[in-house]
Chain A
Amino acid sequence: AQKVTQAQTEISVVEKEDVTLDCVYETRDTTYYLFWYKQPPSGELVFLIRRNSFDEQNEISGRYSWNFQKSTSSFNFTITASQVVDSAVYFCALSGNTDKLIFGTGTRLQVFP
């Protein structure tokens, strides 16, 4: 069975702090894909990144970076110098042989000025 665990329910930081959101996944598929989505208060899920299971290169996009480690089945997301606009719920998701996404329960990030 496939499963995604986001153990951090809620994180609060002050603006300009760095913050890491954890994601641990379980799958028996040899080929799979990992995703991060952002859900601001408006409710719409915004795609952030997709990684393939055969590509463990870390990725950086502006203030966002992702650390994919197959050895620990983790796909963690770091926001550097957080801003108030980063406040949202962040979801990690997994898809394998079928196309459906399996989501974690999300981490609510609150960034205070």
Chain B
Amino acid sequence: DTGVSQDPRHKITKRGQNVTFRCDPISEHNRLYWYRQTLGQGPEFLTYFQNEAQLEKSRLLSDRFSAERPKGSFSTLEIQRTEQGDSAMYLCASSQVASASVYTQYFGPGTRLTVL
């Protein structure tokens, strides 16, 4: 069973540019999550999907951020008009939820974004 993969691993961009990250979850995992981690802090929740439905969005997710999971498999996270404050590690995780139970979230290697 392959783990969660993320692409790219590193992204350097200039302020004002748009960037898009991709996450491929563990196969057959129906939930997919995005988190953001800044230096010296724990990851902070951004949003999550069950299949293709986006179930929750954090207030951290401004209008410049959008996430999709069109076919219930991979997901993309887009940041428009990047700002220096967007520089962080963006982590993706997935889990298999069969009922109301909470299952373990497994994380990918992350995409490190640097905005110059």
Using a CB–CB distance below 8 Å, which chain A residues touch chain B? Answer: 4, 33, 35, 37, 42-47, 50, 91, 93, 95, 98-106
A-B contact count (CB 8 A): 57
Whether A37 pairs with B97 at a CB distance below 8 angstroms is: no
Give the number of residues in B that approach A within 8 Å (Cβ atoms): 27
A35, A43, A46 — most chain B CB neighbours (10 Å): A43
By a CB distance below 8 angstroms, the chain A residues around B110 are 43-44
C-alpha gap A103/B45 in the complex (Å) = 9
Whether A99 pairs with B109 at a CB distance below 8 angstroms is: no
Whether B104 pairs with A99 at a CB distance below 8 angstroms is: no
Selected contact of A101 from candidates B89, B105, B112, CB within 8 Å: B105
Selected contact of B43 from candidates A33, A45, A50, A98, CB within 8 Å: A45
Selected contact of B104 from candidates A50, A98, A102, A106, CB within 8 Å: A50
Q: Would you give the shortest CB distance from B102 to chain A, in whole angstroms?
A: 5
Main secondary structure of the interface of B (DSSP, over half): strand
C-alpha gap A39/B54 in the complex (Å) = 27
Whether A105 pairs with B42 at a CB distance below 8 angstroms is: yes
Given A95-B102, A99-B31, decide whether A43 and B109 contact each other with a Cβ distance below 8 A: yes
Question: Which residues of chain B from 30 to 54 have a CB within 8 Å of any chain A CB?
Answer: 31, 33, 35, 40-45, 48
C-alpha gap A46/B89 in the complex (Å) = 15
Taking A35-B104, A47-B105 as given, write out 9 further A-B residue pairs in contact, using a Cβ cutoff of 8 Å, ordered by the A residue number.
A42-B109, A44-B108, A45-B43, A45-B91, A47-B104, A95-B102, A100-B33, A100-B45, A102-B45
What are the 5 closest A-B residue pairs judged by CB atoms, nearest first? Answer: A103-B42, A45-B107, A100-B45, A44-B109, A33-B102
Task: Bits for B77-116, please: 1 = Cβ < 8 Å to A, else 0.
Answer: 0000000000001010101010000101111111010000
